Amino acid sequence: MFKSLDKSISKKIAKWKKPCEDMFEFLADSYPESLAKIIEEESLPAEDLTFAAEYMGKCTDINLVKKVLFPLLSHEDAVVREGAIYGLTNHLDSVVKFKLFNISKNDKSKAVREAASNIITK
């Protein structure tokens, strides 16, 4: 399904015939590096990428999360940018807060601006 994954991980996710939230959750919990590879591979459509980004945020490695999600904050699809924002919710260091503040003021999408604002004002 994904060319960036090694065969052992591909076998573990084979029960899901197509990308879905359950698969992203499984990878986030058990194989976060593999979820990162899938996101970075840029083969997911926006409607799946947004959920993958949200689940990426469940990972405890803040550096991996930021490495994968920061580029999505400037994705062409607002729904993906919003997913990346929600993925960063549990990783609010000063750098993340600064990025979200700028997005809350400058993103072209009202929904994205509101999502960023809601996260930083919690």
In the chain (122 residues long), the average pLDDT of successive 10-residue segments reads 90 95 97 97 95 97 98 98 97 97 98 97 84
Instruction: Give me the pLDDT at residue 42, please.
Output: 86
Angle of helix 21-30 relative to helix 46-56, nearest 10 degrees? 30
| Distances 51 to 2, 7, 101, 105, 106 between C-alpha atoms, Å | 16, 23, 22, 24, 23
| DSSP assignment letter at 91 | -
Instruction: Give me the pLDDT at residue 86, please.
Output: 98
Domain range list for the chain: 7-90
Instruction: Give me the pLDDT at residue 4, please.
Output: 85
| Distances 1 to 5, 7, 56, 95 between C-alpha atoms, Å | 9, 10, 19, 34
